[in-house]
Every structure is written in C-alpha cells, then in structure tokens.
Chain A
C-alpha cells in the first residue's frame, strides 16, 4: 500500500467521524484530537476502523504515534511493511 493510499484511508476514516472537516486542510503535524475535535471514544473508533480495514494490530501503547496525520502514515506504513516480510 502506497503512502497515497494510506492517506486516503486515513482521510475516509476521519471523515466518518468528522464529516464536516476537509482533511486536506488539516496540518499533518497537528494533534488530530485537537484540530478536528475528536474525543476518546471517537479516537477508539478510529483505531478500531483502521484495525479492521488494514488488518494491523495497534496496541494502546502506540496510540501517541497516531495522533498526527504524518505520524499515522509512518506508523501504518511500517506496520504494513513489517507484516509483508
């Protein structure tokens, strides 16, 4: 899965939670919980959706790595790469 594909997945899943937000305008290094106003339940649903859609395991201890768009892209890219090998 390319970085573009990962960003597309993230955009779709975040829009399921916050349909009114244009994810393209979100600072990729900003804390998603702040900039698109999602609470802990939303964030858990986001993680759950990524887990189901991409088949990757995201332990709770890794949550801080996924709170920015750039962080999430890097994390997911590494997870998907690791699972292929």
Chain B
C-alpha cells in the first residue's frame, strides 16, 4: 500500500489546497495519470501519481488545505490489488492535518450515473458546468476513462467567446512565491554571469524557408530553436543540468528545460518541457505552445513545476537586447535570451547586416566556473549555426 502525498512543488511551498479528485476508490491508475488538482501559490496544479495501482481510499476532502507530505490517498500496488494475492495487513490510516478546512462535507460518493448515464464527470466539474450552463455533451473528457475533469470544463468555458473566465491565478500569491525563490537564490547562490552575441541569421533563414510552406499552427518560433540548442548543450555539459541540494551538486539524468513564461498582469512561472533534448523541433514547439497556454490559464502539472533541470528565460521579439537572469533554486544555471536585432557583422572579412541575439548564462559558482560556462555558452551558439541539425 502506497501513500499518495501532497507534493512539494518547490522549496517555497509549505502547503496546498486539494481542489478536486479526478479518481475515486476502485479506479486504476497508471504512472503519470493525473489524479487530483491542488491550488497553490502558483495556481491550480494537476497532480500526477508515480505509483501505479488501484485507488484504495481517499483521505482528504476537496477544499482542504494540508501541509506538504500529508497523505492524500492510499494506492494499492498492482500485485496487492490482484485477485488471489495475499491480503496485506490494513494500513494504519494516516490522519490528514487540516490546516484550514474550508469545507467539512464528507467525501462525496462517486457521482452516481443517473441523469446522464454515459457522461463520467467529477463533482467539481459538474458543478462548474452547471454554473455556466455548459452542455456536457459538447465537452471532451481527458480524465481516466474519458471522464470530464474540471480542466475540460474550463477549457470549454475559455472557448465560449462571450463568457469571461475568472482568472484562476492569484498573482499576488504568485509574486510572493517568486520573491521567496529569488531571495533564496540571491542569498545562497554565488552567481557568475557570461554574455555572448550570436549570429542567428542561419536560424532565421532556415525558419523562413520551413515556415513558408506550413499553416500557422505548424510554424516554428526561433525560441524553440534556442531551447533545443540549450537542451543539447546541457546534455554535453552535465554540470549545468541538475540540482544543488544539501551542500552538493546532483547532476540530473534527464534534460527538462524550464521555460520562463510571463503571465499577463505580472505573473511568471518556469515549468519544464520534459526530455527537451529528445524532442524533435516540431514536437518541442507543440509542447511549448501547450505549456504556455496551460500556464497562462493556470493549469500546470505538478511534475512540470517540480523538475526543471535548467531554465531558459527569453525576452521575446520586443524589449531589450540583454538579460542577466537569476537562477531558480535548486537549479544551477539559467540562460537568458534577448531580442533579435540587426547588427553590422564581419563575415569572411566583409561587413554585412546580420540578425544577432545576446545569450547570457548565469551560473552557480559552487558548481561551475566561468571557464566551463564559456564553453557551454559557446556550444549553444555553435548549435544555432546549423538549425537543420537541431
């Protein structure tokens, strides 16, 4: 029997509020399934399970705030759950510590299929749909077994043009979370900063040619190329990809590039694109679009927030040329990307106009030195000279 606990989604998180269960006792879950939604300072987060098996018992009611680490549910492992397997001794029921219970209603029984027998929907999603008069037949379910989740109804609401969805993000709380992480970074991490101007004309030419034949939803942005180049370079320079914890550096096995995403009104989050180095550019772009959209709608997944191994922060096509970014602890490096500008450049002894971006690296001096940082940054620049190989 395994306990499914309130996860820690960053060193600044102490507690979270369980908003909604997407499973009920008896449901089977696979590793990576989204089983619950919690509310944190970073907005609503979809929580995945890493324990496959059968949901044995729900321990915490929706709308209850509990500290990080509190058991939320019990999951019976696949073997235990198999008929004929030895009956395990009953687990000692873990008592959830309700910090600020907003509702004390008993756990609702699984929604009985009554009026609409073919629609599987969570109670919270049903409530939301009813509040907005959403026709459930028009909503595609993405939960276990095609069940309609809170997120599905929200997405439906977002596409209904005349309805303005209340922002589910608390930007003040998000600012507090950013402040806590950045104060810790500036207090603990001895940053060093490097800067490198990179000719990205080859990227622009390659993109112009590729995008010319594609519909808008398949077009790539230069940001996707930079992220892929950083991921490939991080694979070759593992000292920039990982975590500094308890006095030592732990290199990460995978490369999950965190993408800094601004949120209108003053929010910022940097969720991960998983296995960035393994993604084709098209896949990376699709994932990035999805990630940006979900982040701005306040729907990030727990693993995306908790496991970026290095971050890329890009100022986009406007603003200024150079940014010196602050490392997001416990990561040890962040790459800043300025806007693209046209500059005189020497190519083969002649001066000509080229498109140039300024890349910066902020590195953790406890783990690496400027010399290694320079090689890492130069490798990113080199990768950007041959975009077709990214």
Contacts and interface: CB of A to CB of B under 8 A. Distances in A.
B124 interface: no
Nearest to A16: B161
B117 interface: no
B208 interface: yes
A33 B292 CA distance: 17
A39 B264 contact: no
A63 to B, nearest CB: 10
Contact of A44 (B161, B216, B318): B216
Interface in A33-53: 33-34, 37, 39-41, 44-45, 47-48, 51
Interface stretch (B217-225, B230-238, B382-390): B217-225
Given A33-B317, A41-B292, A61 B221 contact: no
Contacts of B264: 18-20, 37
Nearest to A21: B264
B316 A39 contact: yes
A58 interface: yes
B384 to A, nearest CB: 17
Nearest to A19: B164
B247 interface: no
Interface residues of B, number: 22
B212 to A, nearest CB: 6
A85 to B, nearest CB: 23
Interface of B: 161, 164, 208, 211-212, 215-217, 219, 221-223, 262, 264-265, 288-289, 292-293, 316-318
A59 interface: yes
Interface string A56-72: 01111100000000000
- Most chain B beta carbons < 10 A, residue from A18, A39, A45, A48: A39
Contact of A61 (B212, B215, B293, B316): B212
A20 B169 CA distance: 14
Contacts of B161: 12, 16
Interface residues of A, number: 21
Interface of A: 12, 16, 18-20, 33-34, 37, 39-41, 44-45, 47-48, 51, 57-61
B216 A39 contact: no
Contacts of A48: 215-217
A17 B215 CA distance: 20
B211 to A, nearest CB: 5
Contacts of A12: 161
Contacts of B219: 44, 60
A85 B264 CA distance: 41
Q: Which of A18, A40, A58 has the most CB of B within 10 A?
A: A40
B32 to A, nearest CB: 26
Nearest to B164: A19
Give the residue among A18, A19, A41, A60 with the most B Cβ atoms within 10 A.
A41
Give 3 closest A-B pairs by Cβ, nearest first.
Answer: A48-B216, A39-B316, A60-B211
Nearest to B288: A41
A85 B181 CA distance: 59
A4 B46 CA distance: 41
Contacts of B222: 40
A47 B218 CA distance: 12
A40 B316 contact: yes
B216 A47 contact: yes
Contacts of A16: 161
B215 A60 contact: no
Nearest to B158: A16
Nearest to A12: B161
B213 to A, nearest CB: 9
B316 A20 contact: no
Nearest to B318: A33
Contacts of A41: 221, 223, 288-289, 292
B326 to A, nearest CB: 20
Nearest to B208: A60
Given A19-B164, A59-B212, A61-B208, A39 B317 contact: yes
